[in-house]
Amino acid sequence: MLSEKEKPICPFCDGKNVELYSSFGTAQLVRQYYCQNCKTVFESIRWSGTADASPEQTQGIQTVGVVGSGTMGSGIAQTFLQSGLSVTLYDIEDEILESNSRNIITNIEKMKVKGKITPEQAESANRNLKVSTKLTDLSGLDLIIEAVPEIKSLKIELFKKLDAVSDPETILATNTSSFSVTEFAANLNHPQRMIGIHFFNPAPLMPLIEIVKSQLTDQTTIDRTRDLFLQIKKRPVICKDTPGYIVNRIARSFYNESLRIVDEGLATHEKVDRIMKKAGGFKMGPFELQDLIGIDINYNTTQSLFDNFQSESRFKPHYLQKEMILANRLGRKTGKGFYKYE
């Protein structure tokens, strides 16, 4: 047993009050230090993102703006709505917003039918969703998170505009998969409120949240963000602002090597997926996962890591992905990727 002085910080939330806990890992009993807060959350998780969150519990964060209503933006909006927060969803065109907000409402209805949320929660989620194509409608909110395509210049320009329309106390967050959060913060008048909140796909179901602290993020912003996610039953992990953070850096090899295996004719993409699932125990194979993520999003993420790691060959994007983008085979969102979708 370690003395109070020797105890490490919590590996999940950087909290200080850690205790030694035992849990079953994949094959053996794991003994690990983490904090009471994270323990409570882990033990209570059956599935994530439904807890009702009062203003005191969420550190005053009750109103959220989500910029970009695609795969991630829609999932992020749904996650907050299910927890009783209000969401203003912004996108560039009314038609896009109409179609994507309809999907969110359908998904919430499905959750109700499955008994995952109560009829009252579903009703308040529908009531709490607003949509807009005007950036000024995001002023006065507690948190704004961006989920626009993985294009650095687009995000930099967007944050300059968000900086101008929002209050200085509003937390500004990016869901970027790979870019430097510090670079976005450096362009703001109030850079201490900028943070990375990296959700995983599908956002309402995946518990892990990588909270990326930039060189300029202040402790209050980190604490408020972490507490919000603990409250809505996610698993926030604080990460350094390095290219790809933790998961996306590891995942590059997963995608790149599988693309090379197929390209070298060693196996078809169907076979690779089958092996990884049936023999490897993965929930999805690398090609199913790329279709879910979006070939364009995944390609841009790999390119960003390649650029940031000074063109190290292990991060080099595969030409097959580039060709699929040119052919608009972007995965599920365009109905065709490695597989076909109805």
Nearer Cβ to ligand NAD (15/68): 68
Q: Are 256 and 287 in contact (CB under 8 A)?
A: no
> Rounded to whole angstroms, how far apart are CA atoms 308 and 330?
24
> Rounded to whole angstroms, how far apart are CA atoms 339 and 60?
44
Name the minimum Å distance from CB 72 to ligand NAD: 3
Name the minimum Å distance from CB 321 to ligand NAD: 14
Nearer Cβ to ligand NAD (216/251): 251
Active-site residue, 177 included: yes
The yes or no reply on residue 205 touching ligand NAD (CB under 6 A) is no
Site for ligand NAD in 274-313 (CB under 6 A): 293-294, 297, 301
The yes or no reply on residue 150 touching ligand NAD (CB under 6 A) is yes
Q: Considering only 63-71, 159-167, 186-194, 221-229, which stretch makes contact with ligand NAD by CB under 6 A? A: 63-71
Tokens read off for 62: 């009750």
Nearer Cβ to ligand NAD (18/210): 210
The yes or no reply on residue 107 touching ligand NAD (CB under 6 A) is no
List of residues 6+ apart from 4 with CB closer than 8 A: none
Figure out which of the listed residues 91, 163, 273, 291 binds ligand NAD, where binding follows CB under 6 A: 91
Query: What are the strands, taking DSSP E only, across 81-170?
Result: 86-90, 129-132, 143-146
The yes or no reply on residue 201 touching ligand NAD (CB under 6 A) is yes
> Rounded to whole angstroms, how far apart are CA atoms 61 and 142?
5
The yes or no reply on residue 230 touching ligand NAD (CB under 6 A) is no
Distances 235 to 43, 57, 151, 159, 198 between C-alpha atoms, Å: 11, 16, 27, 26, 11
Query: What are the strands, taking DSSP E only, across 162-229?
Result: 171-174, 194-198, 208-213
Active-site residue, 146 included: no
Name the minimum Å distance from CB 165 to ligand NAD: 13
List phi, psi (to 5°) of 319. -65, -25
H or E segment to which residue 39 belongs: helix 36-44
The yes or no reply on residue 177 touching ligand NAD (CB under 6 A) is yes
| Catalytic-role residue among 48, 100, 124, 248 | 248
Figure out which of the listed residues 82, 121, 176, 290 binds ligand NAD, where binding follows CB under 6 A: 176
Q: Are 23 and 45 in contact (CB under 8 A)?
A: no
Site for ligand NAD in 128-147 (CB under 6 A): 147
Figure out which of the listed residues 32, 70, 165, 249 binds ligand NAD, where binding follows CB under 6 A: 70
Q: What SS3 class is residue 40? A: helix
Nearer Cβ to ligand NAD (34/80): 80
Q: Are 137 and 90 in contact (CB under 8 A)?
A: yes
Figure out which of the listed residues 39, 274, 322, 333 binds ligand NAD, where binding follows CB under 6 A: 333
Total residues binding ligand NAD (CB under 6 A): 28
Name the minimum Å distance from CB 320 to ligand NAD: 18
The yes or no reply on residue 149 touching ligand NAD (CB under 6 A) is yes
Site pattern 180..199 for ligand NAD (x: CB under 6 A)? -------------------x
Nearer Cβ to ligand NAD (68/84): 68
Place of tokens 């807890």: 51
Strand order in the sheet with 143-146: 129-132, 86-90, 63-67, 143-146, 171-174, 194-198, 208-213, 235-240
H or E segment to which residue 253 belongs: helix 247-263
Active-site residue, 210 included: yes
Footprint on this chain of ligand NAD (rule: CB under 6 A) = 67-73, 90-92, 96, 147-150, 154, 158, 175-177, 199-201, 293-294, 297, 301, 333
Which active-site residues does the annotation give? 177, 198, 210, 248
